[in-house]
Amino acid sequence: MAKIISIGNMKGSVGKTTTAVHLAQQLGKKGKTLLLDADEELQCAVFWREGEYEGWTFDAAMFKSATPESMAPYQYLVIDTKGNEQGSDLVSLAGDSDLLVIPTKPDGLSATGLVRTLRPLIEAGVQNYRVLIVANEGGRGDELREALAEDGIPVMTTIVRKSTAVGDAAERQIPLEAYTNNRYAKLVAVDYASVTREVLNHVG
């Protein structure tokens, strides 16, 4: 049976699609992987994957079009949720997933959104989630990770650094690892490879 890794946050613009695409790219090197895009309006993950780059390691489809038969051949399923999920949606999503990854940026607004996102999960006693700090600048990410850990919030060790190459890679429809002339893009790709190792440690 496929391992299901969902990417969600009640707040938008926190790196969900970037995380989903690059997690799927890394998982695709380990086993057959399908990325399901649940954002019917924007379809950002599917658009990103539709590029002509020949080194993609995963398939992508809209979540609503997935069937048990179409998902059966895959070892890993990555679900990129729509923006502005409700707390009850995330609780249900965690229940249907082997791991729920919650990306957040280490800034004030994102941290406020993170509190709102985590509250329903904590109240429901959900355990199979991990916070992932992305788009880090300076020491903010380390400070947030330490604060979350002190509060007993499960947070990933890896912190993904910030790079303007993310937007360029999405526009070019290539993964960051294929951005050959940008050192920072490759460093972010290395960060996501580390994230993937942590995910695999959790889901087996």
Q: What's the confidence (pLDDT) of residue 87?
A: 66
Reading phi first (left if > 0) and then psi (alpha if -120 to 50, else beta), residue 180 is in alpha
Q: What's the confidence (pLDDT) of residue 41?
A: 77
CATH code assigned to 3-199 = 3.40.50.300
What's the pLDDT band for 132 if we cut at 50, 70, 90? very high
What's the pLDDT band for 108 if we cut at 50, 70, 90? confident
Stretch 68-90: mean pLDDT: 87
Sole residue written with tokens 């604060």:
147
Distance CA 19, CA 23 (A): 6
- The closest alpha carbon to 126, from 93, 94, 155, belongs to 94
pLDDT digits (tens, 9 = 90+) for 2-26: 999 999 988 777 889 999 999 999 9
pLDDT digits (tens, 9 = 90+) for 177-191: 998 888 889 999 999
Average pLDDT, the chain: 91
Q: What's the confidence (pLDDT) of residue 88?
A: 81
- The closest alpha carbon to 31, from 4, 58, 71, 50, belongs to 58
Stretch 74-81: mean pLDDT: 96
Q: What's the confidence (pLDDT) of residue 70?
A: 94
Q: How many CB atoms lie within 10 A of CB 38?
A: 22
Distance CA 180, CA 85 (A): 35
Q: What's the confidence (pLDDT) of residue 80?
A: 94
Q: Residue count of the chain, please give it.
A: 204
**Radius of gyration from C-alpha coordinates of the chain:** 16
The stretches of 50-105 forming alpha helices (DSSP H) are 68-71, 87-95
Neighbouring C-alpha atoms within 13 Å toward the C-beta of 24: 32
Q: What angle do CA 156, 159, 161 make, to 5 degrees?
A: 160
User: Would you kindly state where each structural domain of the chain is located, as residue ranges?
Assistant: 3-199
